[in-house]
Amino acid sequence: MKTFFISTAIDYPSTIPHLGHAYEKVCADVIARFKRLQGFEVHFSTGTDEHGLKIQRSAEKAGKQPKEFVDFMSGKFRKLCDELKISYDDFIRTSEERHLKVVQLIFKKLHQAGDIYKGFYEGPYCTECETFYSEEELVDGKCPVHKKRVERVEEESYFFRMSKYRNKILDSIERNPDFIQPESRKNEIINRLREPLKDLCISRTDFDWGIQLPIDKKHVLYVWVDALSNYLTTIDYPTDKFQNFWPVDVHLIGKDISWHHCVIWSSVLLSLGLPLPKKIFIHGFVTYKGEKLSKSRGLVIDPTHLTKTYSVDALRYFLIREISFGQDGAFSEEGLRTRLNDELADVFGNFVHRVLTFTRDRFGGKVPDGKIDKKLEAELRERVEKVEKLLEELKVTQALEEIMAIAGRGNEYFQSCRPWEAIKSDPKKAADCLLNCVNLVKVLCIALQPFMPSVCDKLAEQLNLKITGWEGIKKFDIKSGHSIREPTILFQKIQAQSPSRGNELVSVKDLSKLDIRIGNVVKAERVPKSEKLLKLEVELAKERRTIVAGVAEHYRPEELVGKQVAIIINLEPAKLMGIKSDGMLLAAVEEGKISLLTVDKSVKPGARVE
Ligand code: ME8
């Protein structure tokens, strides 16, 4: 069996995953599923990149040991993959023992090749991207990617002779036009390689959360060499499995890490004497209101909220359809709703539902006796061959566009036969129409399987079919008499909800407008003539405020004294029952019951809530 190896980047589990991470995994999953349908033995790897200073610091911030921290955080990334129906074959974590062994073997080989030497490193380092920069690469003294201040590193280090591989990499790019895609990204790499390539500093001594160098235990390996090696760990380098799957068919990565893959990783592979990847495909960024989603900048959109509201398949569809593969693309909840309502529900869902309910209602759930429309079958074969070619070229956005055009064609065909009229005047025509339409639904069910696996499984069930391979897409082979099962709606339309229900996404900038503090309730009393209001005296850092809160039905005044509550302090004061109220308490509200937000440890009055 022919093999196919596709990998995504492995994510830093320093904070929770965002829609950008989800995007990369969905794209890779579409390709992996398509290849499996084509009959390839696929190895699809993803995972988490768990070593390095950034993770160590995030763990410290969370008050946890690094291992305990990554165990917890990595679980969130794996859970996201499962929620998104990512069909990974391996979820690799760089803190695993198997990875440690492979990395140490790789390091020994680089050393034996004479490519490692000891030196002294002095220069800027960005911990956010875990990257050494030269002074010239900085923009206004800051990291060119994160626009954050860099740190200065001055320490004894081991170096990798990357300079040696510049010409070989340039040569490979030239000889293999497919190696780096898309073209524009390839040109960026070629331009950067016009300058001489420097050797790479590959060890650090000022923290210890990483893999020790086998030749010098004082040093831990630079996190990128550790991380990139995951691609060999996941196929059990250097065993038979590795022989079967290397070179990788596609490394799918985002544009911020193209240098690390195209140049650092290629140099390591060349030093190991291994073939270079067949393709490194560099996708663009998911943006929101013009900014890149990013953990470090605090702009995070939670994919789980979106899958719960709109369904996993709608989100997968939106990401592939909206963001032209290889370029940046904007996310908006409105855009997602429009794609769901106008395309999935109105075009694809509508066609399928009309065909299946007509078959159920007018033909007793059995595909009627009719004639295959050879012209339509040939037209469809041509269209799906185009889809196949696009998918082989990784043009996932265009492939999906083409498939949706087939769904549109289905609607048009159904509409032009007018089977609801023909059933009375020309039943044979109605039967012919439905036989062809059911086959068309099957074509869509196979073509869309890599993109929307859950919905297509449901549809296959309704069609009473097992989707076993891509080949079945080219024939109208559902025969008269085939029974279908009970049709159900595939996509529910979703209308915009009012922002007050909390469903509009906001950025951290919006949130930071609110000044929320912890206040200590020092006095509480009922407001005369009011059943609902309590008057509270709340102590903040340097002041006391009076707050009138509608909590009298839920708390007795004495219960509140001594509580540390969360208060919004930068609202305009309001007058309630003649009393000026200068702030608002935060509370959880459930079925009319109110529970004030308090902190679980004693903090100083005035502490900020962030
Ligand atoms: O870079 N849109 O991890 P990471 C699309 N650990 N893709 C995005 C994105 C966005 N807004 N933000 C991030 C790392 N990504 C390293 C990789 S691989 C050996 C080590 C992509 O968590 C990003 O481009 O910062 C990368 O491909 C992946 O998510 C992980 O990013």
Q: How many helices (H) and strands (E) does the chain have?
A: 22, 26
Indicate if 159 and 242 belong to the same structural domain: yes
State the catalytic residue, choosing from 76, 111, 146, 523: 146
Mutation to probe ligand 1, out of 19, 76, 256, 505 (largest number of atoms < 8 A from CB): 256
Task: Provide the percentage of residues in the chain whose pLDDT is more than 90.
Answer: 83
Residue 206 banded pLDDT, cuts 50, 70, 90: confident
Residues 385-397 pLDDT 10s: 999 999 999 999 9
Give the C-alpha separation, 476 to 443, whole Å: 8
* Ligand 1 centroid distance, CA of 106 (Å): 24
- What is the 8-class DSSP label of residue 450? T
Annotation says 482 is catalytic? no
Q: What is the mean pLDDT of residues 210-214?
A: 97
Annotation says 18 is catalytic? yes
Residue 313, in any domain of the structure: no
Indicate if 356 and 467 belong to the same structural domain: yes
* Ligand 1 centroid distance, CA of 114 (Å): 32
Mean pLDDT of the chain: 94
Q: 424 forms bridges with which residues in the sheet?
A: none
Which tops the pLDDT comparison, 103 or 600? 103
Residue 493 phi/psi, 5-degree rounding, is -70, 150
Indicate if 11 and 120 belong to the same structural domain: yes
pLDDT at 109 over 50: yes
Residue 597 phi/psi, 5-degree rounding, is -80, 125
* Ligand 1 centroid distance, CA of 77 (Å): 12
Written in H, E and C, the secondary structure of 254-295 is EHHHHHHHHHHHHHHHHHHCCCCCCCEEEECCEEECCEECEC
Closest listed residue to residue 451, CA positions, set 133, 5, 153, 37: 37
Indicate if 270 and 173 belong to the same structural domain: yes
Task: Provide the percentage of residues in the chain whose pLDDT is more than 70.
Answer: 97
Residue 580, in any domain of the structure: yes
- Residues of the domain holding 391: 328-474
Amino acid making up residue 417: C
Q: What's the distance, CA 301 to chain centroid?
A: 10
* Ligand 1 centroid distance, CA of 228 (Å): 13
Neighbours of 584 (CB within 10 A): 18
Residues 127-153 pLDDT 10s: 988 899 988 889 999 998 888 899 998
pLDDT at 63 over 70: yes
- Domain's final residue, options 474, 498, 526: 474
- Which pLDDT score is estimated for 500? 42
- Which pLDDT score is estimated for 591? 60
Indicate if 281 and 172 belong to the same structural domain: yes
Annotation says 429 is catalytic? no
Residue 415, in any domain of the structure: yes
Residue 490, in any domain of the structure: no
State the catalytic residue, choosing from 81, 129, 417, 445: 129
Indicate if 336 and 248 belong to the same structural domain: no
Annotation says 35 is catalytic? no
Q: Is the peptide bond before 196 cis (omega within 30 degrees of 0)?
A: no
| Residue located nearest, by CA, to atom 4 of ligand 1 | 11
3-state helix vs strand vs coil in the chain, percent to 5 = 45, 20, 35
pLDDT at 499 over 90: no
- Which pLDDT score is estimated for 503? 47
Indicate if 410 and 274 belong to the same structural domain: no
Give the C-alpha separation, 557 to 536, whole Å: 8
Indicate if 417 and 533 belong to the same structural domain: no
| CATH at 563 | 2.40.50.140
- Which pLDDT score is estimated for 462? 98
Residue 507 banded pLDDT, cuts 50, 70, 90: low
Annotation says 292 is catalytic? yes
Indicate if 284 and 337 belong to the same structural domain: no
Residues 439-480 pLDDT 10s: 999 999 999 999 999 999 999 999 999 999 999 999 999 999
